[in-house]
Chains A and B, each alone.
Chain A
Amino acid sequence: MNTQSNAVPESFESRRSAPVAMSATQPLYWSVRRELWENRSIYIAPLIVAALILFAFLISSTAGIWEKALRLDPAQQPDKLAEPYTFAALLLMGTTLVVAIFYCLDALHGERRDRSILFWKSLPVSDLTTVLLKASIPLVVLPLLTFAITIATQWIMLLLSSAVLLASGQSPATLWTQLPFFQMSLMLLYHLLAVHSLWYAPMFAWLLLVSAWARRAAFLWAFLPLVGIGIVEKIAFNTTHFVHLLGNRMGGGAEAVTMPGGSPMDPMTHLTPGHFLISPGLWIGLAIAAGFLAAAVRLRRYQGPI
């Protein structure tokens, strides 16, 4: 080998600018940011619902509807007082659940439809990273966002309620002492993480898989096969196991998440992480979710624009 031929690649290498030092998490951060840019409904929809809740709550507070609970027997007060707050949390969770479903169905379908997948694939981000980050939106981002927005909404409700009471010359002291605010927040966080993240994971993973696979009508492909399996099972074996399985999954797996036989009046009995974490339903569900996501990664690798 003469030295000349070796010198060329060396000088060539030295002319290349050194890559910018980049932490491993930086591409992940920007990939999540990108999802939020593209799908602004992720935060706009719950914010709009929160605004509507606050508006309606303001009207009902001035009408004194919820303050009736303040004149109840103190033993019943916490549950009664918590009612509008729980209702607000349910509405917000319902909203973000719908947002998550539509997000998942479009996540790997939209980029193929508008051909932008060719742009994303021209960047050094692997299909695995992309699919996992897209899955993190319903599994991590939305539950945490729901928690933050719900807590903020409930705080504003509490302040509104107190202001209305003060304005009408009543003391808000009972409201502040009797409302189980901390307990409610803890319950909410547990419910979001246990049910929306972990228990629903196979559902979101299924939707992502369909969105990676379907060429069109992802919505129909996501739901019709489930209906089909139910019908075939019913006609062939006259059983309804699959429908029950789905119902249990979508219903939030009440027996897995909460302790069977626990007093429904004591909200703390719902916090049974030990029982939840050893329930086979959880782990079977997570294994299925992992399988669906692996299939979605593989599909994204093969699929081009449609």
Chain B
Amino acid sequence: MACIEARGLRKAFGTTIALDGINLRVDEGRILGIIGPNGAGKTTALNAILGLTPYEGELTVLGRDPWSERDQLMRDVCFIADVAVLPRWIRVSQALDYVAGVHPRFDRAKAEGFLAKTTIRHASKVRELSKGMVTQLHLALVMAIDARLLVLDEPTLGLDILYRKQFYDSLLNDYFDRSRTIVVTTHQVEEIQHVLTDVMFINRGRIVFGCSMEEFESRYLEVTVNPERVAAARALKPMHERWVFGRKILLFDLKLDGGVNQNIDRQQLTEFGDVRTPSIADLFVAVLSEKPGDSPVNQAGQSLSNYEGAAR
């Protein structure tokens, strides 16, 4: 069942095009990471999904039109926009009271349980809490809501590594149960790579890449090649090269469209050096550094501009 479905999603601010015809389908039970440079349109896409901004094109979230039915939709959708949206004047106890008062799917006991594991006191005001504690509070509120879709826009921005790790750990252990869907954007890609089931790259308002993590792992390989073998390895048409400590690291797409790479296999590559799965960040750099029209890889990228999250 599709949780989010978009066709030709477009949004322009004046002459700036924030979303340029996005087609997207995210099935229930997936954890999708949206990766993109600043200003790529990630937040605009999320805002459209959350009914915070009007858009052109078709968009359905949990069977509803987010722009016209935001308040109804929010019974089943939660979001953490970024760390600093809890009002600074509110007390922790008041935040619990209020959400319990307006949200029919909020389980107060559950939220209290999450808070008990932290050092947050009920009498504290949000302005007295550290940035990490505010995020813990927001996460406690959100995780206590029995929602079907959770949207996280840079949820761990500005947090130290301990809080960031804790954030994703509790999300996975205490919240995610395969019936919920999570969409997350972040710049700390490495930290969520093991969390995701799907990944999508977005640049200049377009989806430039998208696949499930299973496909990602079976399809992309990175080989560390000694300088003398680089020329030979290049014959296999890597999609990206970079230097690390005097050695070349070549990134290969094993199933490149267009028939240019005649289905090279893992065995072939191990002859050149160590082979491993690249990080999402490396693939991201590889995909985004391609110039239009000068490489077969870009054709692959374009063919992926329709992203369909793998069905369960």
Contacts and interface: CB of A to CB of B under 8 A. Distances in A.
Contact of B85 (A9, A21, A31, A115): A115
Contact of A116 (B28, B86, B91, B146): B86
A138 B171 CA distance: 42
Given A34-B98, A111-B87, A20 B74 contact: no
Interface stretch (B75-83, B240-248, B281-289): B75-83
A33 B101 contact: yes
A121 B102 CA distance: 12
Contacts of A33: 97-98, 101
> Main secondary structure on chain A at its contact with chain B?
helix
A183 interface: no
A125 B102 contact: yes
Interface string A102-132: 0000000001001111110111111101000
Contact of A114 (B52, B72, B73, B87): B87
B90 A124 contact: no
Given A30-B98, A124-B74, A22 B104 contact: yes
Contacts of B146: 16-17
Contacts of B8: none
Interface in A67-104: none
A115 B43 CA distance: 15
A123 B81 contact: no
A19 B104 contact: yes
B201 interface: no
Interface in B73-118: 73-75, 77-81, 84-91, 94, 97-99, 101-107
Interface size class of A (residues with CB under 8 A): 35 or more
A122 B94 contact: no
B188 interface: no
Interface residues of B, number: 43
Contacts of B88: 114, 116
B71 A126 contact: yes
Given A20-B105, A22-B104, A34-B98, A12 B87 contact: no
B264 interface: no
B60 interface: no
B101 A30 contact: yes
Contacts of B77: 122
Interface in A1-50: 8-9, 12, 15-17, 19-22, 26-27, 29-31, 33-34, 37-38
B54 interface: yes
B9 to A, nearest CB: 18
B7 interface: no
Contacts, number: 101
A16 B180 CA distance: 10
A260 interface: no
Nearest to B47: A304
Interface in B42-62: 47, 50, 52-54
Given A19-B75, A33-B97, A304-B52, A124 B102 contact: yes
Given A12-B179, A15-B179, A302-B54, A123 B102 contact: yes
Contacts of A301: 70
B89 A37 contact: yes
Interface string B250-289: 0000000000000000000000000000000000000000
B12 interface: no
A38 B89 contact: yes
A22 B103 CA distance: 9
Contacts of B84: 115
Interface in B207-224: none
Given A20-B106, A34-B94, A127-B71, 12 more contacts: A9-B1, A16-B148, A29-B101, A33-B101, A114-B88, A118-B52, A118-B81, A119-B85, A122-B78, A124-B75, A124-B102, A124-B103
10 contacts: A16-B148, A19-B75, A26-B101, A116-B85, A119-B81, A119-B87, A121-B70, A124-B103, A125-B71, A125-B74
Interface of A: 8-9, 12, 15-17, 19-22, 26-27, 29-31, 33-34, 37-38, 111, 114-119, 121-127, 129, 301-302, 304-305
Q: Which 4 A-B pairs have the closest CB atoms?
A: A30-B101, A19-B104, A126-B71, A116-B87
